[in-house]
Amino acid sequence: MKLLITLLLWCLLLVLCWPLALFVLLAFPFLWLLSIPFRVASVALAALLALAAALLFLPARLAGYRRP
């Protein structure tokens, strides 16, 4: 569904301003490549926060507390 909406918006942009639509079409792969390090950093940060939460809740889990 998201792809269909993106395609329809791009077609609308192509009708309204075709040079900008072609620029977006050519620039998108480069922007996607630039976003890869930020995605990797996001995954690493999420893993680090999950580890910190696991370490903080470890004493309670050892004491027998279970989440409802």
Model confidence over 18-52: pLDDT tens digits? Answer: 999 999 999 999 999 999 999 999 999 999 999 99
pTM for this predicted structure: 0.61
Whether 4 has a pLDDT exceeding 80, the answer reads: yes
The answer to whether residue 12 scores a pLDDT higher than 80 is yes
31-58: burial string, b at 16+ Cβ within 10 Å, e else: eeeeeeeeeeeeeeeeeeeeeeeeeeee
Whether the CB-CB separation of 21 and 10 falls below 8 Å is answered with yes
Q: What is the pLDDT of residue 14?
A: 93
With bands split at pLDDT 50, 70 and 90, how would you rate the model's confidence at 64?
Answer: confident
Burial class (CB in 10 A: 0-12, 13-18, 19+), 15: exposed
